[in-house]
Amino acid sequence: MRTHPFSILAALIGTARYKFGQFLLNVLARHRASLPARARFELGWQFIRKFQWLFRGRDLSGNRYSSDWKNYAFMRLLAILNNGTDRFVPSIQVYNEGALLQAIEDQVGIVVVTLHSRVHTVLSRVFEERGISHSVIANSLAVQVFSELLGLRGKVDLVRLGDSSLLVARKKLRAGRLIWTCADFTVREPGTLYHDIYVADGLFEFAKNCGARLVYAVSNVSEDGIVEVFLSRPSIDEERASPFALANDFVDFCRTASTAPADWKIGPWTLRERSQTKQFDNFCVHRFPKNMRHRMHD
């Protein structure tokens, strides 16, 4: 299957629209630099909503996880606002927090499974604010900067995704730390621009092998510019269900909680571990505010 020329054209036009939107957003933020960060955010978010046809272009290109365009625009606005000394901390709203509290009560370790949504790193802030020590399995140190943009104060305890990650995570889990990570990964169809999106069932096997409790999480940006985090416990018996059944249960939850549901399939953990490269660090370092780039290094 080859990429249709119109798809490439649509992607190029989408990117151009989004870039133009970003440019205008930058100009707006600079023009109103004397205002407090909260007021600048309100202005910027109003602008994004009013001219959403520009920012919706992000749906069409460089969006392999099919995340909501609002999430991308929101993170871009945060990056612009935090490019100076005045720090802006976005508002967050956690739904069904009882799911987390219930898992904590069992005292057997917690694995929080989520999806890439551009704002998913807000989870580190959620746990930090509740005094829960946690570690994240992720591919890139960029998770630190993304988390800080979303209001994290401390340092992310990162377990690098790789062929040792789950064993390192098991050690941390045994030490009483909560583990959170994204279960989804993409595989590009050769010769095309299309990506299939998978949810790795290995993560559910990991939780079962460790005897840990599972908590599902999905994060989105609301129409009002608030980061919403939806939590849930599995709807099936996590001790008896197979990893595959749990992965499907997670996908069912994501379909209801995500503002941009995708066509998730179930895939092997091996591919999740190998789905990205360390070049990603170099790729995204240029996309962050200059005053935050140094935190991308070990």
CA angle (154 as vertex; 97, 101 as ends), nearest 5 = 15
Helix/strand/coil for 115: coil
With contacts defined by CB under 8 A, name the span among 13-21, 149-157, 184-192, 265-273 that binds another protein: 265-273
Closest to 287 (Cα-Cα) out of 37, 47, 76:
76
Q: Examine residue 113 and tell whether it contacts another protein (CB under 8 A).
A: no
d(CA 171, CA 160): 14
With CB under 8 A as the contact rule, the residue among 63, 135, 139, 165 that binds another protein is 165
State in angstroms the smallest separation of the CB of 215 from another protein: 20
Which residues from 124-163 bind another protein, rule CB under 8 A? 162-163
With contacts defined by CB under 8 A, name the span among 95-103, 145-153, 213-221, 270-278 that binds another protein: 270-278
With CB under 8 A as the contact rule, the residue among 170, 195, 293, 295 that binds another protein is 170
Q: Specify the residue, 124 or 181, whose C-beta has the smaller distance to another protein.
A: 181
Q: How many CA atoms lie within 13 A of 151 on its CB side?
A: 17
Task: Characterize the bridge pairing of strands 178-182 and 184-188.
Answer: unpaired
With CB under 8 A as the contact rule, the residue among 164, 242, 277, 291 that binds another protein is 164
Cβ atoms within 10 A of the Cβ of 50, count?
A: 9
Residue 284 near residue 142 (C-beta atoms within 8 A): yes
Residue 172 near residue 135 (C-beta atoms within 8 A): yes
With contacts defined by CB under 8 A, name the span among 58-66, 191-199, 204-212, 288-296 that binds another protein: 204-212
With CB under 8 A as the contact rule, the residue among 209, 222, 256, 277 that binds another protein is 209
State in angstroms the smallest separation of the CB of 275 from another protein: 12
* CA dihedral of 206, 135, 65, 126, whole degrees rounded to 10: 120
Binding site residues, another protein, CB under 8 A: 162-168, 170-171, 202, 205-206, 209, 269-270, 273-274
